Each structure stands twice: as C-alpha cells, then as structure tokens.
C-alpha cells in the first residue's frame, strides 16, 4: 500500500485527487494539507511514502516545504503536481529535492503511474518537462557524446523512447513487452551509459 499525502491550497483539487486515489487499488490517502507548513508537520506525523506537492500556496510554498521535508525525512518522495511548468518553478523544485514533476493537465493515469514510480524510487516527469530538462542539459554540457556500441537492438529502442519522455508503461505498450522487461532494459542501459537516473539516461541518448 502506497501512503500518500496530498498538498494543495485548493480544497476542490484535493477532494478530486482523493477520489481518484481512493478508487485505485494499492494507494491510500493518509492526509491532506492546504499549505507548506502543514505539509511539513503532517509528513513528520503520518510518514507518507509519497507527498503530492503543489508549488504556489499561501504562507510556506511548495518549494520551501519540499526542502524542509527532505531535510527532516530524506527517504520521503516528493512528487510535484503543479500548473506551472516553467523553469522558474521546475529547477528550484528539483534543487529542493523533489523526485519528479508532473503538470496538473496530465491524464489521471499519468498521475497514478507517477505516484507508483515515485514510491518505487524512480523519477516521474511529464513528457514536456523531461524534454526541456534534456534540451537544457545538452546545451549546457556539450562534451563528447557517449558511445553506444555495446547496446542491443532492443536496448536502443528502449533508449530512444526514454529520450522521448515515455513512461515504463508507455514503452511496454509501444514495444509490446512487459513493464518488468522494460525496467530490466533500463537498468542495463543505466549501467552501460553510466547514468545514475532516468533524466541522465535520456540526456545520454540525446547527446549520442
């Protein structure tokens, strides 16, 4: 069971998210917070696996709250869910310790999958956000591209789709293979390209 804390200053949005998550097997909403200060307090009290965090809130905002949560409970996964996908919100949130960044116009299935990914230690990003991260990293780091000589044909296919920003489930559907198989390929790709996480793996694909 994935324990989730919802943080958003709009009660209607929290209610909608709670209905979505309560209807999903394997997820439990353990609490709600309307601002960053309450989010930090409830995280300490309820010990959720994943905090779904809005960014713009009165008082203590989501970025500050994320930083405080990471300082107190670094094992907690903070997944940003926001309307604002611009760089002024994206990079400060990641620097504060957020593990992923989704936009509020994402389909419900993307949010549910993102929560599962976050709980499993992965870094879920909306496709638009991941593309921008990769593009900016490529522009900032023009070093020689990594060699991909040791990849199998299937690994190259998976790598291409990671670079496009697809989730594990979407890659599995596109290639007609199981999600577990996709995870196995991604683990191998990270090892072969010396990439510590999914964003770096996508960056390696773009640079190559």
Shared domain check, 63 and 98: yes
142 lies in some domain: no
Which tens digits make up the pLDDT trace of 146-175? 667 788 989 999 998 988 888 888 899 999
Q: Can you give the pLDDT at residue 185?
A: 92
pLDDT higher than 60, residue 144? no
Residues 120, 185, single domain; the answer is: no
In a shared domain, residues 87 and 34: yes
Residue 192 has pLDDT above 70, yes or no: yes
Same domain? For 101 and 200 the reply is no
- Interval 46-102: pLDDT, tens: 999 999 999 999 899 999 999 999 999 999 999 999 887 666 778 888 889 999 999
Residues 175, 89 within the same domain: no
Q: Does 122 reside within a domain?
A: yes
Of 90, 113, 135, the residue at which a domain comes to its end is 135
For residues 107 and 42, state if they share a domain: yes
Alpha carbon distance 150, 130 (integer Å): 25
Q: Residue written as tokens 């609490």?
A: 31
pTM: 0.69
- Expressed as residue numbers, the domain containing 192 is 147-206
38: its two tokens: 């309450």
What's the total number of domains in the chain?
A: 2
Is 141 contained in some domain? no
59 neighbors 39 (Cβ within 8 angstroms): no
Within-domain flag for 30: yes
131 and 185 belong to one structural domain: no
Residue located via tokens 């994935």: 2
Looking at the fold, whether 153 and 77 belong to one and the same domain comes out as: no
Q: Same structural domain for residues 117 and 155?
A: no
Question: 167: domain CATH number?
Answer: 1.10.10.10
- Split at pLDDT 50, 70, 90, the class of 195 is confident
Q: Please check the confidence at residue 120 and state whether its pLDDT lies above 60.
A: yes
**Residue 143 pLDDT exceeds 60:** no
32 and 79 fall within a common domain: yes
Q: Do 9 and 85 sit in the same domain of this protein?
A: yes
Could you tell me the CATH number of the domain that includes residue 32? Answer: 3.40.50.2300
| pLDDT above 60 for 118 | yes
- Residue 1: closest CA among 24, 32, 33, 31: 24
Q: Compute the residue count for the chain.
A: 208
Residues 77 and 100 in one domain: yes
């Amino acid at each position: 069971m994935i324990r989730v804390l919802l943080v958003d200053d709009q009660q209607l949005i929290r209610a909608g998210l709670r209905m979505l998550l309560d209807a999903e097997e394997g997820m439990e909403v353990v609490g709600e917070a309307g601002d960053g200060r309450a989010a930090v307090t409830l995280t300490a009290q309820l010990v959720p696996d994943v905090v779904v965090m809005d960014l713009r809130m009165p008082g203590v905002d989501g970025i500050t709250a994320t930083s405080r949560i990471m300082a107190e409970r670094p094992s907690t996964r903070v997944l940003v869910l926001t309307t604002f996908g611009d760089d002024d919100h994206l990079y400060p949130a990641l620097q504060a310790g957020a593990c992923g960044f989704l936009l509020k116009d994402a389909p419900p299935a993307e949010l549910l999958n993102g929560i599962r990914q976050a709980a499993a230690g992965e870094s879920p990003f909306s496709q638009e956000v991941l593309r921008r991260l990769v593009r900016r990293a490529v522009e900032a780091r023009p070093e020689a591209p990594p060699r991909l000589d040791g990849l199998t044909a299937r690994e190259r296919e998976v790598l291409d789709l990671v670079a496009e920003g697809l989730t594990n489930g979407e890659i599995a559907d596109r290639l007609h293979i199981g999600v577990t198989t996709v995870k196995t390929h991604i683990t191998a790709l990270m090892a072969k390209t010396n990439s510590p996480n999914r964003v770096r793996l996508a960056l390696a694909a773009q640079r190559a």
